[in-house]
Amino acid sequence: MKNVFFLVHISTQFRVLVKIAEMLNASGKYHSVMYLDGSVHRLDDAMEYCTGHSLDFLLSPERIPAHENGQDRAGKNLFQKNKTTFPSFFFTKLVSSVLFYRRKIRRFTRILQEQKISLVIIPDDGPENNYAVLVKAAHKLGIKVIVCPFTSMTSEGTALALSGNKSLSTGLLSNRITSVLLPQWKYSLNGRIFLRTPAHAAWAMKLTGIAPPRPWLDNSGHADVIAVDCFLNKKYLQERGIKENRLILTGALYHDVLASGLRNKERKLESLYHRHGINNSKPMVLCALPALSPEDDLSSYNPNLGKGKDLLEEFVKTLTSINSHQVFLSLRPGSKKEDYLFLEKYGACIAEEPVEELIPACRFYVSSFSATIRMAIACGIPVLNYDPLHYNYTFYKGLKGVIHTNTAAGYREYAGRLASDELFYRAAKQEQEQIKEDYGSIDGHAADRLLALTDSYCGI
């Protein structure tokens, strides 16, 4: 039996990787070890799940606040004493970061040896967190690394997410110099130029041999192979320089869940309604709520917006005003249901089932630039993408079955038309049907392909 090592940082990654671990364990050929790294997010729920499902796991020995990621604690006091001038500020942080990465490489090398690991599976292969150091440690021991991406993000999406981070701005001298000497680390967006990581981290990764060749391209690090979920993502990565022999089109395990849901749509919908005490037979609208806390202050995104609570209520009240449909809400993994119960007073139901179990049963899907949009497209289901924060991602633009709006008026109009205008709805659905195969392998055999890929890299 081969031991497989999984690295997890956040709850969304855990949901993806734990299913792969359970699938490998069920094959009888593998023993999975989950490494729950709490250096970025708390993973107490993941630990509880592993305990309850007899999955072996290891815990990170330290919890490092996110702002310290990439900085060795041993150098922190030295940094504090030498931050008065640029050279001492930068070089102290650089030395601290090099020490941090080298220490992490040694730690993972030791863990992989102690656990007698034959294969490593990671959810991402970028410059953040511990992916790069784990890949380096694995390769030192001759262990192969497979990336099973937990989400889909373009370079533009990553840049939009990081654009407000002042520590990445080329307004800082060290970042400006680095943008010239290491141009692959810079990105230009809306007239602003910034780095993928602070300058000291970029140079430390280069000096320790763990820097990704294309820092702004997700999963462009040094892992051996990427298990790609769909043709479109394979094409995207290949067009941006990832060699075709590193891109294996397997599909994702959630595709098998979608396939099962589509085959048994009526029965699953009836079961869902029964569990939630719903006695009507209305078609379902599924809304994946945006990644907002009710207490978030949204005025920095849009001066016309207030608290997250107000926007969440707008998302829900618009949909529940459509009496012909039953509204279900899907929360992001890691969200606490009790924080959103106030939304049920408008007539919506908060579903605790994974979103991939819900999407096949819905008539249309409402989201706000979630990666789960690709699940709905793969099922041939129309999508209403509401962007009140004006992110303006272009990834789904141009798809006629994904209807975009960034105004409350547009949201009300399109939600109403998808619910009541049959010609409008059918046109959107037909567009999705024509492209759905590019967004997912909904044939029920993704698990078989992932197992075959694992076997090939473990010599089975």
Q: Convert the pLDDT of each residue in 187-217 to its tens digit.
A: 998 889 999 999 999 999 999 999 999 999 9
Query: pTM value?
Result: 0.88
| Residue of 285, 309, 284 whose CA lies nearest to 298 | 309
Q: Convert the pLDDT of each residue in 68-122 to its tens digit.
A: 444 444 444 443 444 445 566 788 899 999 999 999 999 999 999 999 999 999 9
Count of CB atoms situated within 10 Å of the CB of 35: 21
- Residue 110 φ/ψ, nearest 5 degrees: -65, -45
* Distant-in-sequence, close-in-space partners of 104: CB < 8 Å, separation ≥ 6: 130, 133
| Residue of 105, 77, 92, 40 whose CA lies nearest to 199 | 92
Task: Give the Cα separation of 440 and 428 in Å (integer).
Answer: 18
The superfamily CATH assigns to domain 2-252+443-458 is Glycogen Phosphorylase B; (3.40.50.2000)
CA 10 from chain centre, in angstroms, equals: 9
Task: Give the Cα separation of 154 and 86 in Å (integer).
Answer: 33
Q: What per-residue confidence (pLDDT) applies to 325?
A: 96
For residue 176, the surrounding DSSP H or E stretch is helix 173-181
Q: What per-residue confidence (pLDDT) applies to 416?
A: 97
Q: Is 227 exposed, middle or buried (0-12, 13-18, 19+ CB in 10 A)?
A: buried
Which CATH fold would you assign to the domain 262-438?
Rossmann fold (3.40.50)
Q: What per-residue confidence (pLDDT) applies to 60?
A: 83
Count of CB atoms situated within 10 Å of the CB of 247: 19
Q: What per-residue confidence (pLDDT) applies to 81?
A: 43
Instruction: Identify whether the C-beta of residue 290 lies closer than 8 Å to the C-beta of residue 315.
Output: yes
Q: What per-residue confidence (pLDDT) applies to 66?
A: 39
Instruction: Identify whether the C-beta of residue 343 lies closer than 8 Å to the C-beta of residue 350.
Output: yes
The tens-digit pLDDT sequence of the chain (460 residues) is 999 999 999 888 998 999 999 999 999 999 999 999 877 677 888 999 999 999 999 998 754 433 344 444 444 444 344 444 556 678 889 999 999 999 999 999 999 999 999 999 999 998 987 899 999 999 999 999 999 998 877 888 888 888 888 999 999 999 999 999 999 999 998 889 999 999 999 999 999 999 999 999 989 999 999 999 999 999 999 999 999 999 999 999 999 999 999 999 999 999 999 999 998 889 999 999 988 888 888 877 777 778 889 999 999 999 999 999 999 999 987 788 999 999 999 999 999 999 999 999 999 999 987 889 999 999 999 999 999 888 777 778 889 999 999 999 999 999 999 999 999 999 999 999 999 999 998 999 999 999 999 999 998 8
The reply to whether 262-438 shares the fold of 2-252+443-458 is yes
Cα–Cα separations (whole angstroms), residue 52 to 45, 47, 232, 391: 10, 9, 37, 39
Q: What per-residue confidence (pLDDT) applies to 392?
A: 79
Domain chopping of the chain, boundaries: 2-252+443-458, 262-438
Task: Give the Cα separation of 442 and 163 in Å (integer).
Answer: 35
